Amino acid sequence: MKFLHTSDWHLGRSFHGVGLLGAQSEFVDHLVSTVREQGVDAVLVSGDVYDRALPPPDAVRLLSEAVTRLIDAGSQVIISSGNHDSAIRLGFASDLLSRAGLHIRSSLGSIGTPVMVGDAAVYPLPYLEPAASSVTEELGVDKRTHTAVLGAAMDRVRADAATRGPRTIAMAHCFVGGGATSDSERDISTGGVAMVPTSTFDGVAYAALGHLHGSQQIDDTVRYSGSPLAMSFSETHHTKGTLLLDLDVDGRVQVEQVEAPVHRRLAQVRGTLEEVLEHPRHTGAESAWVQVTLTDPIRPVGALEQVTRRFPHVLQLRFDPQGEALPVRSYAAKVAHREPLEVCCDFVEDVRRGAGADEAETRLLRDALEAGRAARGDREDEGRARERGAA
């Protein structure tokens, strides 16, 4: 029996201002092809289907299209809610949708009740926020920690799994100890220590986890699929995709990573402005989404414009000055004992890279300064008149 483990789609997310919906649509195409080619029985989506509780209409439309195509391709789809999802909104009409092969589990009452795929029992656990009294009361725990609530949820899973055969899978959205984080995951430490031990998932053949965006194996039967797309430059070297599970009759599972298409690769470039613009080792980054870190001792003027000429898809420009910089006088020291008109004209020259104010512009600046002085004088006169009247 074959399953496809995926998570953290974050439909509706952008990457440094660039919308990812087109890339996410390409991933859906890939997912449907994989289901057809591999004869997948069920696609498991372990949380964070959407990027926020109120997803944009295009994201909702893409999810609707995705699940319809996956079911038409011959697979069931099992979705559990993540910390980015609204459990209530995601779970709308879930009982009705399950008749068509779409199983959405986002309510506490569903914990411990499996989705049966043939004789395999899949236990999707919704994201459990330990700070919520409804969660701790439903699960009967006193401690408001992720370990406590997930442990109680898995106790229910184990109790039911004991009555089934060996083919059992748990789905959860959490942070298991030993997992490697990236910059794009939202902190879930509210309500107690976020990390839970691997032993939490003892008693099932496989734990299909979501939340961490890097694909990784925690132990033989506990894995993160990772997100299908990179959402931070800390994921530059990740291999994105899904995990294809082959679960045999005895509950043994073989796992193979299926790489997802790369819409546009990521690159990180570092060096002085001259090195960044001229060094041939950065040629491969010219078509990538790029994070550029400039190390010049003094921040170069017009750096973004110059960098963009070589790297048209630069998304982030950072500065990390190295070496000794020339001493810089404070702004107050620069303008001390100077006439306001001189300061204004110097500002114009600076922002225009040496092109100073012409005669007409200087006259306009002088008129504006004089108007400002007159308005300030009128206000001061009015204030003094009020004070005399009050006295």
Helix ranges (DSSP H) in 202-320: 273-278, 303-310
Decide: 176 and 202 in contact? Cβ < 8 Å.
Answer: no
Name the DSSP letter for residue 109: G
Structural domain boundaries enclosing 308: 266-319
What's the rounded Cα separation, in Å, for the pair 132 and 81? 15
What's the rounded Cα separation, in Å, for the pair 364 and 371? 11
pTM above 0.85, yes or no: no
Q: What are the tens digits of pLDDT across the range 311-358?
A: 999 999 999 999 765 555 556 666 667 788 888 888 888 777 677 889
Residue 53 shares a structural domain with residue 175: yes
Residue 199 shares a structural domain with residue 235: yes
Looking at the domain assignment, is residue 53 inside a domain?
yes
What's the rounded Cα separation, in Å, for the pair 339 and 216? 63
Q: What are the tens digits of pLDDT across the range 112-138?
A: 999 999 999 999 999 999 989 999 999
Q: Does pLDDT of 25 surpass 70?
A: yes
Residue 193 shares a structural domain with residue 106: yes
Q: Does pLDDT of 31 surpass 70?
A: yes
Residue 297: how many other CB atoms lie within 10 Å = 11
368 φ/ψ angles, rounded to the nearest 5 degrees: -65, -40
Specify the CATH number for the domain of residue 137: 3.60.21.10
Decide: 227 and 240 in contact? Cβ < 8 Å.
Answer: yes
Looking at the domain assignment, is residue 326 inside a domain?
no
List, in sequence order, every residue forming a beta bridge with 266; answer none if it has no partner: 289
Residue 109 shares a structural domain with residue 154: yes
Looking at the domain assignment, is residue 74 inside a domain?
yes
* Alpha-carbon radius of gyration of the chain: 29
Q: How many domains does the chain have?
A: 3
Mean pLDDT of 266-272: 97
The pLDDT score that the predictor gives to residue 385 is 55
**Residues in the chain, overall count:** 391
Residue 241 shares a structural domain with residue 379: no
Average pLDDT, the chain: 91
Q: What are the tens digits of pLDDT across the range 126-181?
A: 999 998 999 999 999 999 999 999 999 999 999 999 999 999 999 999 999 889 88
Stronger pLDDT, 354 or 192, i.e. the higher one: 354
Residue 26: pLDDT band with limits 50, 70, 90: very high
